[in-house]
Amino acid sequence: MIGLRDPSLEERLEQLAKETGRSKSYYVRLAIQQFLEDQEDYLLGLARLEKGGKRFTLKEVEKHLDLDS
């Protein structure tokens, strides 16, 4: 496995794997997956903002979806 530069991070990962019976690789894959999903959401949102166009307030969206109270 790729070495982690922060020994405390490595220790935490090892402890989590030991206590849950899962592999360290499982948690590394999970962390990478979550990171990529977050980055995709962020970058897609940023790209849409940069394109310009009509923007809606939360209130407008709620009203359109008939969620306003």
Please tell me the total count of domains within the chain.
1
* Structural domain that includes position 16: 7-64
Structure tokens at 59: 């209130």
Q: How far is CA 39 from the centre of its chain?
A: 7
Task: Look at residue 2 and tell me if it is in a domain.
Answer: no
8 vs 25: CA distance, rounded Å: 17
Q: Helices (DSSP H) in the chain: which residue ranges?
A: 7-20, 24-51, 58-64
Q: What is the pTM of this model?
A: 0.62
28 vs 42: CA distance, rounded Å: 21
pLDDT digits (tens, 9 = 90+) for 17-61: 999 999 999 999 999 999 999 999 999 989 988 998 888 999 999
Task: Look at residue 1 and tell me if it is in a domain.
Answer: no
Residues contacting 56, CB < 8 A, separation 6+: 64
Q: According to the model, what pLDDT value does residue 4 have? A: 59
